[in-house]
Amino acid sequence: MLNTVYRGPHSASSYAQLLERLELPRTTGILAVDTETISLTDRTCIGIGIQVTENEGFYVQLLPEPSPLVPLVLQLLADVRINKLYHNSAYDLDVLGELAKEYNQPAPDNTNIHDTMLMAHVQGLPNGLYELGSDILGYTDLFEIGLLLKHY
């Protein structure tokens, strides 16, 4: 079982196809990242969302069964050549750092990063991820993590 959701214009239903699409950040140099955890206080990671292009992203599951792609995703996040875009990077980097230790992978890169929450705050915009996505960017197909957790 792949335990990974792919959303994008390409066929990525097999492990080999998912690996091919995940190699894209190494050539484009940018990756948007969001961790999903049980709660703000229980930082147990249940999955990692990554966006590799404007129209292409992945959700890599950790709970209840981890995706075999978790080590590759952690390696991408440790690569200093790739720009990482986070929302609340301090939280995500802490969660990912613990996960990297658990999987015996390098720590996530904390130098080549950008943080949309800080950018929004500096500009006087709402800094919630949902508000930025819907109000500022006009995205209408956003969902709250609670909807995902209902399935477990």
Query: 19-68, pLDDT tens digit by residue?
Result: 888 887 777 788 999 999 988 899 999 999 999 888 888 899 999 899 99
Residue 152's pLDDT band (cuts 50, 70, 90): very low
Nearest alpha-carbon partner for 22 in 75, 61, 63, 66: 75
The pTM of this model reads 0.85
How many residues are listed for the chain in this entry? Answer: 152
First to last CA, the chain: 16
